[in-house]
């Protein structure tokens, strides 16, 4: 089986999306610990749904895009972004970007 694309470099690239995910997580925990507005099942559920849904969607999209980019990097030569069809284009070093 081919080597996984989720190596250390990849996780470093994904830090940019881990930060907003962490902020969302912070508020999910925060609103659980501190709740000044009382208990109301409907609005409480909606409150969590509004933060948890973007959290899940962002996690899925980050995973899928990272997998697509990582697989392309592994299986095909990587050219300068936007420069693949230039005459005589040479692949750039991996992870040079």
Which residues are near other proteins by CB under 8 A?
Answer: 13-14, 16-17, 19-21, 23-24, 27, 31, 37, 40, 43-44, 46-48, 50-51, 53-54, 57-58, 61-62, 65-66, 68-69, 71-73, 76-87, 89, 97
Q: 7 or 19: whose CB is closer to other proteins?
A: 19
Taking the C-alpha atoms of residue 84 and residue 86, their distance in angstroms, rounded to an integer, is 6
Residue 22 dihedral angles phi and psi, to the nearest 5°: -65, -40
Cβ distance to other proteins smaller for residue 1 or 88? 88
Residue in 39, 79, 82 with CA at minimum distance from that of residue 47: 39
């Amino acid at each position: 089986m081919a080597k996984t694309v989720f190596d250390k470099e990849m996780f470093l690239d994904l830090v940019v999306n881990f930060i907003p995910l962490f902020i969302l997580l912070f508020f999910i925990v925060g609103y659980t610990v501190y709740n000044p507005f009382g208990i109301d099942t409907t609005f409480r559920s909606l409150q969590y749904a509004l933060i948890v849904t973007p959290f899940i969607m962002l996690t899925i999209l980050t995973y899928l895009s990272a997998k697509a980019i990582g697989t392309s990097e592994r299986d095909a030569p990587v050219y300068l972004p936007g420069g693949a069809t230039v005459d005589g284009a040479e692949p750039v070093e991996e992870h040079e970007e």
